[in-house]
Amino acid sequence: MISLARTNPTLGMTAEEAAVYWVLRRDRDELSAADQAAFAAWLDASEAHARAFRKANGVWDVFDQAEADPHLTALRQAALATPAPRRRWIPAAVGAGVAASLAAAALLLPGQLGLTGGPGAPAAEVAARSDAVPAVARLATARGERRTIVLPDGTRVTLNTDTAIALAYTPGARHVRLMRGQALFEVAKDAARPFSVEAAGRRVTALGTVFEVRLDPGRMKVVLVEGRVVVDRAAAGSELPDPAPTVLKPGQALVAELGVPQRVAPVDVGSELMWREGYVSLEDTPLAAAVAEMSRYTAVPIRVLDEETGRMRVSGVFRTGDAERFAGLVRELLPVRVERLADGSVTLARTADTAATKKSSPADVEN
């Protein structure tokens, strides 16, 4: 009697898991004539299979084309180090993000990572000591709070205001899910255990690297400070076309936004990271957007009362956490009036004289 596992080695796998299986087997030149036939049958079975294989193969090409990069070379070697199957090859854990799955030698499976629960899950009470953080934990900051934590592998993560992450480490991989907010990761080097951060359907995979990930409604942003990272789609089953795996260089940012093509652009890393010191840098920013940014750091609401006021532009470096102080500085820079309402909120509205609109210099820093 012929075993189904022998005739169909990917039986029971998802399309993404099977695609990883076939890419690794083909790269090792391990396919017999029977395997070739099984692969062709699997590939022809559905368009979902073909789409998953194209994606997995595209990710593999990123590593093939970057042999001079020690980070990507180590990721590729980690995947190839996965033992070859004897009969039915079932990954110990295969992640939904194919790029991260290949990079981590097919060792991530969301169900095994313990990443259930949403932003309302309670934060773990931890100190900034590596032995105080369990391998599976949820860490969070309150509005206006910043916290730096040393993870079990020595990686340092700094959480900005109102941020929550879920941490899940396995023997073969280090995985974090950013559920809300903004975090800076200073990744400890470990070629055998790639480090990945998942947010809004994207996965950022690295080895020894410094990078920031920020999650806003409908928008996700990655800023690379040092090293290299690969950014790829993490969520499976989307009907949207998958973006090509993207390798970022230091000083670049990737922005993925609903309804807008993914884009990569150079950024001023120093300005991007000023939040670590309690400041926000604004450069010719619409007042409505500036108010939204500053409101992330304070429980006191700041509101712009009309669209014309919201379109006024402001530049400068402002201290976070004090709504009234920010509003007072804006009043000095722009023709607006400031009111404190009974409910504690602060409002901004244009004055009668809007003919001369002042701006602060980008070099102006609030002391």
* Residue 7 β-bridge partners: none
Contacts of 194 (CB under 8 A, 6+ apart): 75, 78, 100, 103, 104, 173, 174, 205, 206, 207
Q: What is the pLDDT of residue 232?
A: 87
Closest CA to 122 of 139, 147, 136: 139
Closest residue by Cα to residue 120 from 46, 179, 54, 47: 179
- Check residue 353 and give its pLDDT: 58
CA 75/CA 16 separation, integer angstroms: 19
Length of the chain: 367
For residues 153 and 192, what is the distance between their CA atoms, to the nearest angstrom? 12
pLDDT per position in the chain (367 positions), as tens?
A: 334 444 567 776 778 778 777 877 776 666 788 888 888 888 888 888 888 877 776 665 555 544 444 444 544 544 444 444 433 333 333 333 334 434 343 333 232 222 333 333 333 333 333 334 665 678 999 999 999 999 988 999 999 999 999 988 888 889 999 999 999 999 998 888 889 999 988 899 986 799 999 999 889 999 999 998 999 887 554 444 566 789 999 999 999 888 888 899 999 999 999 999 999 999 999 999 999 999 999 988 899 999 999 999 999 999 999 999 999 999 999 999 999 988 888 999 998 755 444 444 444 545 5
The domain spans of the chain are 4-103, 115-267, 278-350
Angle at 110 between CA 106 and CA 116, to 5 degrees: 165
**What pTM was computed for the model?**
0.64
User: Alpha-carbon Rg of the chain, whole angstroms?
Assistant: 24
Q: Give the per-residue pLDDT at 191.
A: 80
SS3 45: helix
Pairwise CA distance, residues 133 & 112, whole Å: 18
Query: 3-class SS at 236?
Result: coil
- Residue in 250, 271, 177 with CA at minimum distance from that of residue 220: 177
115-267 has which CATH code?
Answer: 2.60.120.1440
Placement of tokens 């006021």 in the chain: 309
So what CATH class is 278-350? alpha beta
Amino acid identity of 356? A
pLDDT at 288: 96
> E-strand spans in the chain?
136-140, 147-150, 156-159, 164-170, 173-186, 195-199, 202-206, 210-216, 219-226, 229-233, 246-248, 252-257, 260-266, 279-286, 302-304, 313-319, 336-340, 346-350
Q: How many helices (H) and strands (E) does the chain have?
A: 11, 18
Distances from the Cα of 185 to the Cαs of 58, 123, 124, 224, 287, in angstroms? Answer: 26, 18, 18, 10, 30
